[in-house]
Chain A
Amino acid sequence: MATRKKVLLKVIILGDSSVGKTSLMNQYVNKKFTNQYKATIGADFLTKEVMVDDRIVTMQVSKPAPGPNPLCASIWDTAGQERFQSLGVAFYRGADCCVLVFDVTSPGSFKSLDGWRDEFLIQASPSDPDHFPFVVLGNKVDLDNRAVSTKRAQQWCQSKNGLPYFETSAKEAVNVEQAFKTIARNALAQESDVELYNEFPDQIKLDGGSSDNRSSGGDNCAC
């Protein structure tokens, strides 16, 4: 279809408080960073148009011809602090990708990843939880006091069906662009893997007007 709208992806960012979720998003979308910490309350939203040149994209029947595919990522940044988490199930539903963030200088934030992942799977209840696209980011690699090794993080990702893993610094813009490229690509794969819904539903059965709306004499019938 020539008039197809740009694909819109819903990306949710989860992780402990102050691991740098908001900073990563701001670095990616606005190319800005601040040392100041402002706890996110509820959620923040940002959108960004991205180009993904991907084989997965062009293989889809309903997609335009091969070539760069403009799309729009809507990034839903959440609050890590427990007292600000009360967004409800509906908030997570229908996400195309979930980004799990930890702070490489904080072992605690790494241990929480399991919890965040489970929490997401329960709330969002995606149809195929084993293959839902998560992307894991180990943030703040610019700092010296590193406490979670690359190997340990990679092992965890491996144990969860091989989740993509990136070591990032929102502060120095290390790997942020690359990480979000992968996020967008995986989200898009999730979004576009769709059967065509063009089979007709069953024919209406005429039941002699026994159901309320069809029978005559009801409210607002032009009869």
Chain B
Amino acid sequence: MVNKIGYDMEETQETDTTTLISDINDIAIQDPVVSKSVTENEPVPSSSEQGSSYEILFDQLKEKNKHIFVLSTAGKPIYTRFGNENQMASLFGLMIALVSVTQDSNDTLQSICCGQTRIVFLNKDPLILVGVSQSSEPYDQIKKQLTYVYNNIISTLTLTQLKKIFHNRTNFDLRRLMSGSERLIDKLITFTENDPGFLLDSISCLQMPSSSRDKITQTILTQCSKIKNLVFGLLIAQKHVISIVRMKKYSLHVSDIHLILNLINSTESFKTAESWTPICLPTFDSSGYMHAHISYLAEDCQACLVLLTIDHNLFFTLSDAKRKITEKMRCNDCLHAINEAIIRQPISLARANITGLRHLLYKNKNRSQHWCPPFTSPYNTDELQQNLMSVYCSLISQINFPGRTLKVIFQQLTAETMLAWATEDVELYMTFEPLVSKECATNAVTKLTQWMKKEEDSLFIFNIPMF
């Protein structure tokens, strides 16, 4: 079987009436029925060898729930989550043909649905990103994932460079400049599938007494404020942010922080040596690089300090600043406080003591920060946790549906009862035991809100000082 965007037809004098099937919906590559009909139309031995290898390839691809492909507008492969791009060259050709045909009629191909499978296209000239999901994820969700992958590519190249490269050479094989970043993209996709921060557009903070956090922030600020062209300082513990400082008038966007977190948590070598790396923050400024000084505070304190500047000559200044920050933090017990907080993570929901409540997501909307307590029984397996995340995902997209102002959703599912609750300042998604009544659930909101008043100082970062 040859990969094709049309069908082979027997061409005889009489077949002039044969209709050309050109409906985009029928060209779905994932649909087994379609590929079967192509096979049946294949009486000639023509390309059966390549055909069977394609069938094996497609069978392998179908086993995976979620695919992400990146290609250039010339149809050259750049990234695939699974498998080898060269073997899929024809598949990439097919994608570009679909995009091209639609473009030719002054239209944009956004998504193809066939059964459970949804294919989403994101056209970001000179790149095209394609997501294929078999787990009925919402369109917006897949599109956002594709945007994250796109941003990750921008973060290593900058948009200016990317455009320049393809302006000069439309046939450029971008994989030449991507070695090493495939791994980051793999990790980032996993992040977008599991992390509530991606769903909620927010970051998670390391819980600690606000007095300790303020002391840490002040220590960083004192050093940073003296340095010209330093724009942001960020202290991170695993997936959590401890502290942020920033230059007056500038702020860090959540999706840029997610990229930084992904970079740090995917790169072991940062743990052993201080690093100096160019990174473009696409939302902040996609045209140029920031330069990041990245280092863990100390052997005995595994928090990672990221200092971001626009000046690529600042390494030694920042290295010096970092050393002073660590020294000061050792003296004023901040290192100790961070270690304590890391050991105490994650903060269990049991402390809120609300009967029937199994799990929740709490988002402070003004701060774009969230709290997600650890999963407890009965969510003991990856699969059960993943299922619950999909339930959250669907609630979140309903609450945030553009143009709609839903405030409360109460859902009794077979395995749990869900309550989504949105106010001006807060989004709250709660998971209860099944059969919990509406009153019971709303009472829990009140109780939790009261508890939060006491705890939010330690769960969120309220003080993000400027210099």
Contacts and interface: CB of A to CB of B under 8 A. Distances in A.
A88, A90, A126, A127 — most chain B CB neighbours (10 Å):
A90
Given A204-B290, A215-B250, A93 B73 contact: yes
A46 interface: yes
B231 A216 contact: no
B74 A94 contact: yes
Contacts of A145: none
Contacts of B170: 93-94, 124, 126-127
Given A32-B45, A221-B252, A89 B6 contact: no
B255 A5 contact: no
Interface string B1-26: 01111111111000000001000000
B72 interface: yes
Interface string B197-222: 00001110000000000000000000
A41 B6 contact: yes
A222 B73 contact: no
Interface string A192-212: 001101001111111011010
Interface size class of B (residues with CB under 8 A): 35 or more
A157 interface: no
Nearest to A94: B74
B50 to A, nearest CB: 6
Nearest to B461: A222
B173 A222 contact: no
B171 A209 contact: no
A96 B118 CA distance: 32
B254 to A, nearest CB: 4
B172 interface: yes
B403 to A, nearest CB: 16
Interface string A85-126: 011111101111000000000000000000000000000101
Contact of A223 (B2, B86, B176, B246): B246
A10 B168 contact: no
A215 B9 contact: no
B269 interface: no
Given A88-B101, A194-B169, A222-B251, 4 more contacts: A26-B46, A74-B93, A84-B20, A87-B97
Interface of B: 2-11, 20, 43-50, 72-77, 85-87, 89-90, 92-94, 96-97, 99-104, 158, 160-161, 164-165, 168-173, 175-177, 179, 201-203, 229, 231, 241, 244, 246-255, 257, 278, 283-285, 287-290, 310-312, 367-369, 461, 464
Interface of A: 1, 3-8, 10, 26, 29-30, 32, 34, 36-47, 49, 62, 72, 74, 76, 79, 83-84, 86-91, 93-96, 124, 126-127, 190-191, 194-195, 197, 200-206, 208-209, 211, 213-218, 220-223
Q: 4 smallest A-B Cβ distances: which pairs? A: A94-B74, A41-B6, A209-B249, A88-B104
